[in-house]
Amino acid sequence: MRWSEVCSRYPSRFVLVEALKAISSNRMRTIEEMTVVEEYDNPVLAWAGYKRHRKENPERELYVFHTSKQEIEVIEGYFKAIYRA
């Protein structure tokens, strides 16, 4: 499903989506195809759902968005880990 379809099916909602097809270019992630995992009224519940799903399946590419946005933007960041011996 494309973002425009998500917005029309879930108006004025927070949605937890999984990217099914995405590309990266210049530190921007473009999600071409996605599926809605859950929908929420409340942003706190949406982020709690994100954390729960992420913990259960860390390999999934999950995001929380509000459908009032006509376009979604994902900026890629790089995580530097600190390891202790």
Question: What's the angle, vertex CA 66, arms to CA 9 and CA 12, rounded to 5?
Answer: 50
Categorize the per-residue pLDDT at 77 as very low, low, confident or very high, splitting at 50, 70 and 90. confident
Q: Are 34 and 17 in contact (CB under 8 A)?
A: yes
Q: Decide if pLDDT at 73 tops 70.
A: yes
| Domain with 62 in it | 3-75
As a whole number, the mean pLDDT across the chain is 94
- What's residue 78's pLDDT? 74
Give the mean model confidence (pLDDT) for residues 36-43.
Answer: 98
Q: Is 81 part of a structural domain of the chain? A: no
Is 79 a residue whose pLDDT tops 70?
A: no
Percent of the chain with pLDDT over 70: 92
Query: Does a structural domain hold residue 82?
Result: no
- Number of structural domains (the chain) is 1
